[in-house]
Every structure is written in structure tokens, then in C-alpha cells.
Amino acid sequence: MPKRGKGDRYHHGDLRTALVDTAIELIDERGVRQFSMAEASRRLGVAVSAPYAHFASRDDLLAAVAVRGYEVFHAESQAEMARAKAPVDRLAAMTRAYIRFAGTHRPLFEVLFDSGLDKQRYPELKAAEQPISDAFADCVEALTDSEASADDLAEAVEATAHGHALFLLDGKYGQGADAIELAAERAAGGTRALVDGRHRLGG
Amino acid sequence: MPKRGKGDRYHHGDLRTALVDTAIELIDERGVRQFSMAEASRRLGVAVSAPYAHFASRDDLLAAVAVRGYEVFHAESQAEMARAKAPVDRLAAMTRAYIRFAGTHRPLFEVLFDSGLDKQRYPELKAAEQPISDAFADCVEALTDSEASADDLAEAVEATAHGHALFLLDGKYGQGADAIELAAERAAGGTRALVDGRHRLGG
DNA sequence: GTCTATATCCCGATAGAC
DNA sequence: GTCTATCGGGATATAGAC
């Protein structure tokens, strides 16, 4: 185990990984907006300049965190979807996974959706997002006739999931595991309702 | 008209109002997170200490902006709703107003939903929000049987509206007035679909 | 790869003069 | 109510030694 703790230094050669881990820790405690390279350095007991040997900027570090976020969400949503067969159930499962991801990996969710990171500047981010978009598109297309109505449904479901996720993080469902499950059920219910009423979406 | 411009000072005695206006300007340009008292002072040509004669802290100033936000949204949503009679249409109108508010008063929307302001600490904020909550609750209750199902529908509609608003501000519908109207129609359609499928919400 | 040290900039907030 | 001046803190990022 690498040394940690007050006064210790961090000389084991995996500062890069440690920085990503510590960033997630700090974001969990204070939010992305307050995250700083300097504080990460202090927590790890290294000089404020040390991180710059591994990441050219704060945004570069956040991008690395974001990639991990996409990977985690993809894995978890795939697992959740595997248990459902009908397209509407798979879509509801993905919604549920979205909420659970937001609730259980709040710092990752924040980096993905509230960090102000310019995702266009980081090709690895777009690459990490792609398989998720594909899986989502598959679900939606199985439920709609035309491409236009697929887009409508996709956006409606995304918006509902995202809205519920934000409300969850804002404390509107309370705190803890119960809040997460409540939000997940509400969002899944919203998805089912949208699928049910999807012919009203366009007009 | 008060003097403005490079090198001018701001000695006309309505610095308080000017600060609120300038805050909105700056938030429009850089986002709430980047807003600072210091920059507002610079823009107005006053000393960095001058604002503190009117607002005890940055948060106090943001709270004043937030109150204006609630007032504007309430006025606009009432106007939008006045043109509809059927409850479902009134609810869709409110959703549309929400999106248009986000799109046309982005800085106010940001202060309300992305400033990190602790609304509990400012009673005037809760007071300004109340009439909006009431109007919304009226719409929803006209569409549901039980109190429980009213809550479900209310949260689903709120989440959808909020999600679409954030996507709009994130550029997912493009830029400009067309993007706003597209998002508003999508959100209104989502609301109608949710009303239509509302019996699927609970289970 | 990590260090020390530093340059440069930002911020919120306060004290005391006018 | 506004000023000047300042305290005390924060940040990103770089230079050069080890």
C-alpha cells in the first residue's frame, strides 16, 4: 500500500491514478465547481506542481474522470438492461440505471453533466459515450415507427431521466438509498408513461 | 440616464438596482459560477467595496436576482396559461413557459437552478416561489384523482420540463429562437404524453 | 517525477477616511 | 454611500534544482 496521511509524501509512481481517485473524492465532498488541482495536491501530500507532470491542466484531469464515468455507467446500465427483454422494459431499465448512477456515483455524474467541461475538445470522451448512445438508440427504435418519432421519444425519455436525476441530487426525494430507489421508480414510471403516450409527443 | 462607460463613476444613488442589472449581464456572459462582486464593481466603475453597502454578501445579491427571476417567470407563465382552458392545455402551456423562460432569461434561470444558493436561507425566495407552485398544483390536481397520483404527475412533468430546459441551455436543440421553440414544443408534447399515460406512472 | 519557489492572477470581505 | 487600501485566502501554471 502506498503511504498516505499527514506529512507523508507520495512517492510510489502512480500519481496519475491517485489523482483521478482523489479528484473523485474531493468532488464528492465539495462538488466539481470547487474542485482544484491545488487541493488534490494537498490531499495527496505532493507539491502543487506535481499533477502537471501527468495532466496538462485541470480540465485534462476532469476529462480522465469523465471517461471513467462513462465506463462505469455503461457497465451498470448494461447489467441492468440484461434482466429485461421487452423493449419498453429495457428502456425503463436504462432510465433506472441512469438514476442509480447519479445517486451512487454522484461525483462522476457531476463531472459528466455539471463540470463545464467542453466535451468536444476531448475525443476520448466522445468515444466513451458512443456505446451508451448506441444502446439507448437501439431500445428506442424498437418502440417507434419512424426515425422522427424515435428522436422525439429518445429526447423525451432522456429529459425525464435527467430531470429526475437532478431532483434526486438536489434532495427532492430525501437522502440515502431510499431516495435513490424512489427516484429510480419515478423515472422508470415516467418512461413507461411516455412510451404509452408517445403518439402525443409530436403534436 | 446615469452615466456609464469607461472611466466613468457611478454616483447616482441607485447602485443597488444597477448591481442587480449588472449581475444579470455578467451571468449572461460568463455564467453564475463565474460571477463575482469584484467584476460587477469593475463593470460599474465603483470600488470593490461599494456593493457591500447594499448587499452583505455575494449570495445576498444573487438572492435579489433570484427574486426577480421568480417574478418574471410567474408573470410570463400566467400570460401563457391565460390562453388555454382545458387543464391539460394549461399544464402544457406552463411547461412551454418554463422552457421559454430558460431560453430567453438564461441568467435568471441559472440563478434559480444552478447557483448553489441556499434557498432555505432566504425567506423572500420561498415567498416569491409560492404563487408559482400554487398555479402548478392547481393544474395538476384538475387532472388526477388522488393526491398520490397528483404528486406523481407533478414530479414527472417538472422533471421533463427541467430536463428539456437544461438540454436547451446545453445547446442540444441548436441556438437561437428556433431552438427555444423546438424545445418548448418537445416539452409540451412530453407533458401531454405524460398526462395521457399517467396511469402508468405509479407502477 | 517530484521538489521548492515563485509569478500572476483572482476572489470576498473589512477598516477607516471623506 | 462611496472611496482607498488592505488582509487573507484561493487558484493555475511555470522554472529550475534534484
pLDDT the model gives residue A138: 96
Grid cell at residue A114: 455539471
CA of A58: nucleotide with nearest C1': D12
pLDDT of A142 > 60? The answer is yes
pLDDT of A6 > 90? The answer is no
Grid cell at residue A26: 474531493
pLDDT the model gives residue B13: 73
Contact A128, A64 (CB under 8 A): no
A202 contacts in B (CB within 8 Å)?
A: 189
**If pLDDT is split at 50, 70 and 90, which confidence band does A3 have?**
very low
For chain B, give the percent of residues with pLDDT over 90.
93
pLDDT of A91 > 50? The answer is yes
**If pLDDT is split at 50, 70 and 90, which confidence band does A12 have?**
low
Q: Which residue is nearest to nucleotide C6 (CA to C1')?
A: A49
For A201, which of B166, B193, B198 is closest by C-beta distance? B193
Residue of A nearest to B153 (CA): A190
pLDDT the model gives residue A11: 57
Mean pLDDT, residues A39-65: 96
Number of other CB atoms surrounding residue A17 within 10 Å: 12
Structure confidence by residue, pLDDT tens digits, B13-39:
799 999 999 999 999 999 999 999 999
Among candidate residues B62, B91, B188, B71, the one with its CA nearest the CA of residue B132? B71
Residue of B nearest to A168 (CA): B159
Mean pLDDT, residues A61-90: 97
3-state secondary structure A135-202: HHHHHHHCCCCCHHHHHHHHHHHHHHHHHHHHHHHCCCCCCHHHHHHHHHHHHHHHHHHHHHCHHHCC
**If pLDDT is split at 50, 70 and 90, which confidence band does A5 have?**
very low
- A49 CA, D1 C1': separation in Å? 44
Structure confidence by residue, pLDDT tens digits, B105-119:
999 999 999 999 999
Q: What is the dihedral of CA B150, B152, B155, B161, to 10 degrees?
A: -90
Structure confidence by residue, pLDDT tens digits, B147-172:
999 999 999 999 999 999 999 999 99
Contact A173, A103 (CB under 8 A): no
Question: Cβ separation of A163 and B158 shorter than 8 Å?
Answer: yes
Q: Which residues of B touch A (CB under 8 A)?
A: 31, 33, 116, 152, 155-156, 158-164, 166-167, 172, 186-187, 189-190, 192-203
pLDDT the model gives residue A202: 83
Question: Cβ separation of A192 and B197 shorter than 8 Å?
Answer: yes
Mean pLDDT, residues B99-128: 97
Question: Cβ separation of B160 and A161 shorter than 8 Å?
Answer: no
CA of B14: nucleotide with nearest C1': D1
Amino acid at A64: A
Number of other CB atoms surrounding residue A151 within 10 Å: 16
Rounded to whole angstroms, the Cα distance separating B42 from B49 reads 11
pLDDT the model gives residue A148: 92
Question: Cβ separation of A192 and B200 shorter than 8 Å?
Answer: yes
